[in-house]
Amino acid sequence: MTRGSVQREIVRKKFKKGPAVEIPVATITGVKDGPTFVFMAGMHAGEYAGIKAAQKLIQSTTPGMLKGRLIVIPVISTRAFMMRNMQLSPVDQREVHYYVPGSPDSSYTEFQVDVLWSIIKDATFLIDTHAGEFAQALMPWVPVPMVGTRRTQDASVAIAEGYGVEYIELRRARERIPGLAIYLAERGIANVWAEIGKNGLPTPEDIALHYDGAVAALQTAGMLSGAPPRPKHKYIGNRRVAINAAQSGVWYPAIKEGDIVERGQYLGELRNYFGDVLDTYRAPFRGIVLYYWSSSAINHRRRPHGYDWHSGLVSIASLAEDD
């Protein structure tokens, strides 16, 4: 890419066993040399705050202000986006975040991840934006995959430290880190996945948290001028529990995202169609509600590829101060 240029394209690749993958990409190449930084959004198609932050980044970044190259992908899963599909691929019901490049013939989602990798593979830094889906009320926080070399981990943490969110999570349990984030970190790409926004609502505040976090990260990388902000953060701990329903029903949550719940605290109940209580749920330990399903409809039987997306009720993490 020539210095001092802006390029926009829709990368289009035909999958032989299904529909084409189409990914919009804006590449802004600075007038001065520097690293390559990827900002991407819309992997999960109803997570809109990051998508609008990506658009703002494309509109507001010029080659004249930039050292290095900024690649912005406003919507990774365009097919899901235009179908208003939640979380899982509308083509094969897979969860994009947990697949890695290298098996493009296996499924549509793996083909899509392969196409994505061809766009982002030269990055030194990467921000992947997420949020709560339509059915999911989520508190803003920035998880960091603590895998790869110490140097990569430090660079990933430095990206997270510029975000204006209350909580950062240094996630070390490998089995709980999305596969793509591990894949990137182990190839020396410092990365975070920022969870900001909820219920498919792109509020100005959440868009700003994503956008300002990206600008701070570009400053941290030395690609934009100015000192990045370093707000004080609290830390999410290592314990995690996903409270899931063991049967289908109508969900009555009694907590909110960001609530700190005590051990044994009542979280809500599941009722049948007539309103009789089927089950009640309590917190197994003191922790913070990262998100809960705000959708009343809980379908225990719908588990595509084993995902508990439709039977999830509450996700609770410990606080680092309690670990």
Contact residues for Zn ion (CB under 5 A)? Answer: 44, 47, 130
DSSP-assigned letter for residue 63: G
**DSSP string covering 140-205:** -EEEEE--S-HHHHHHHHHHHTT---SEEEEE--GGGS-HHHHHHHHTT-EEEEEE--BTTB--HH
Give the residue with the Cβ less far from Zn ion, 131 or 255: 131
User: Shortest CA distance to 71 belongs to which of 100, 112, 35, 19?
Assistant: 35
Q: How many CB atoms lie within 10 A of CB 18?
A: 16
- In the complex, the smallest distance separating the C-beta of residue 200 from Zn ion, rounded to whole angstroms, is 11
Give the residue with the Cβ less far from Zn ion, 126 or 270: 126
Give the residue with the Cβ less far from Zn ion, 114 or 128: 128
Give the residue with the Cβ less far from Zn ion, 194 or 215: 194
User: Shortest CA distance to 80 belongs to which of 92, 68, 65?
Assistant: 92
- In the complex, the smallest distance separating the C-beta of residue 178 from Zn ion, rounded to whole angstroms, is 9
- In the complex, the smallest distance separating the C-beta of residue 226 from Zn ion, rounded to whole angstroms, is 29
59 by Cβ neighbours in 10 Å (0-12 / 13-18 / 19+) ranks as exposed
- In the complex, the smallest distance separating the C-beta of residue 129 from Zn ion, rounded to whole angstroms, is 8
User: Measured between alpha carbons, how far is 133 from 11 in angstroms, rounded to an integer?
Assistant: 25
DSSP-assigned letter for residue 226: S
51 by Cβ neighbours in 10 Å (0-12 / 13-18 / 19+) ranks as buried
- In the complex, the smallest distance separating the C-beta of residue 130 from Zn ion, rounded to whole angstroms, is 3
Give the residue with the Cβ less far from Zn ion, 98 or 252: 98
DSSP-assigned letter for residue 228: P
- In the complex, the smallest distance separating the C-beta of residue 289 from Zn ion, rounded to whole angstroms, is 17
Pair of tokens at residue 95: 């969860």
Give the residue with the Cβ less far from Zn ion, 15 or 193: 193
Nearest 5°: the CA angle 195, 199, 10 is: 70
Give the residue with the Cβ less far from Zn ion, 111 or 309: 309
- In the complex, the smallest distance separating the C-beta of residue 88 from Zn ion, rounded to whole angstroms, is 11
